[in-house]
Structure 1
Amino acid sequence: MTVQLRHLFALATCALLLGGCASNPPATARYDFGPLPAPSTSSQIGTLIVADITGPTALDTEHMQYRLLYADARQARPYAYNQWAATPFQLLGQRLRANFAQAGVKVLSTTDAITSPTVLRMEVNEFTQSFDTAKSSQGILNVRASLFRNHRLLDQRTFQRSVAAPTPDAAGGAQALAEASDALAADLLAWLASVPQP
């Protein structure tokens, strides 16, 4: 093999190796809400059935979504290599139940034996990281909550929480939405406590 052919072979080998590296995308990072914060309130609500959370089909996915308010606020975009560990509905439901239980509420799901006539149903309207600028974003959570007792609607309210993300990326968005979910839990507990008990 001539020197020129050796050089061509070496160049081709390097190109193949570099191409192989470029074709391997970064590993996908998966986020949840992390550990619960220390309990800040206690509740005398008693037993509560918390139904599975519902919402738009676009949010019933593990994709982490963000909006560029400064470019096109109507377009939700998915992060390429970052995902939730479960759907936002599942993560939020788990977090709220954990917060309620930590506050002293006896939390049941609709699949448990029905020993409570009080049911909390929630529908998510917004669950996203929204960027005001390329370096500034908030985790925004908007939920409509309906409280039923013995199949009768007692009250319905819409709650919204917005928490600044510490960093302008998926990790910052995950932290902001986790904090917004904990703040929502406190709002819900205060609301539930204001509804007359049977």
Structure 2
Amino acid sequence: MKTIKTIAAGACKTSAIAVFAAAFLAGCSALPSPPSRPVHYDFGPGAMASGPADRRAPLPPLALADLEAPGLVEGSTAVVYRLAYADARQLRPYSQARWSQPPAQLLQQRLREQLGLRRAVLKADDGAVQAREPARGNKLPLVLRTELEEFSHLFTSPSDSAGVVRLRATVVELTPAGESLRGQRVFIVQQPAKSADAAGGVAALAAASGQLASELAAWVEQVGQ
């Protein structure tokens, strides 16, 4: 009898340990998992190979000023969207998506790459230096100033959306008497998003930025003639 009681006691003890272990594991599984890290996006690697040689004469140099972004939160890398069917005035950030740099910097880089395909692109400071040295006798480069007014993933319905980029561009000529306006234009480009999420919005905005850069380069070429 003593042996039977000992075995029963041991079995109860083992069963209690098993129940405690199961409860402990269940408690651990109920704990909140650590938050996932946001995904970072940019516009892609850009051109992977040099294009064919252009037999036309290269275009004159252009001074590109730093892109200003009065319509965006300064320094923010959030990927933002708007719900046009709810409240189009409200900017909403995706919680798990970020740009690798502020959008203004990414777009500035894309503009520089596109403009640089057929001309030397200088910094605006470089143009200012030349302007202070008229003795050189060189024609001063035109200056391109840009303002990014809109850069968002716009939803017209829960399933239909597009990447929207709106940019104001101004070209001025530096003269001894000051600046002379050569042209100003607002570019608005929309590219449909393939999915109603951050990844779809990012791809659409990257495509819209590339198209805008091409249109801007063609316009600057016309203005500079």
Q: TM-score, normalised by structure 2?
A: 0.77
Residue identity in the other structure for 1:109: K
- From 24, 42, 67, the equivalent of 1:32 is 42
SS in 1 for 2:209: helix
Which structure has more strand as a fraction of its residues? 1
The offset of 1:154, in angstroms, is: 1.7
- Percent identity between matched residues is 37
Distance 1:3 1:183, change over 3 A: same
SS in 1 for 2:90: strand
Unpaired segments of 5 or more residues in structure 1? none
Aligned residues: 193
- CA distance in structure 2 between the aligned counterparts of 1:59 and 1:29, rounded to whole angstroms: 20
> Per-residue displacement from partner, 1:176-196 (whole Å, max 9, x unpaired)?
111111111121122112224
| Alignment root-mean-square deviation, CA | 2.4
The offset of 1:175, in angstroms, is: 1.2
Unpaired segments of 5 or more residues in structure 2? 1-12, 131-139
- CA distance in structure 1 between the aligned counterparts of 2:191 and 2:61, rounded to whole angstroms: 30
Residue identity in the other structure for 1:11: A
Contact 2:60-2:141 within 8 A present in 1 as well: no
Tell me whether 1:82 sits opposite 2:97 in the alignment: yes
Equivalent position of 1:109 in the other structure: 123
Equivalent position of 1:16 in the other structure: 28
Residue identity in the other structure for 2:63: I
Higher-Rg member (1/2) = 2
Equivalent position of 2:209 in the other structure: 181
The offset of 1:62, in angstroms, is: 0.5
Q: Which has the higher contact order (CA 8 A, sep 6+)?
A: 1
Q: TM-score, normalised by structure 1?
A: 0.86
1:120-159 matches, within 5 Å, as 120-150=144-174, 151-159=179-187
- CA distance in structure 2 between the aligned counterparts of 1:82 and 1:59, rounded to whole angstroms: 17
Contact 1:59-1:127 within 8 A present in 2 as well: no
- CA distance in structure 1 between the aligned counterparts of 2:146 and 2:207, rounded to whole angstroms: 18
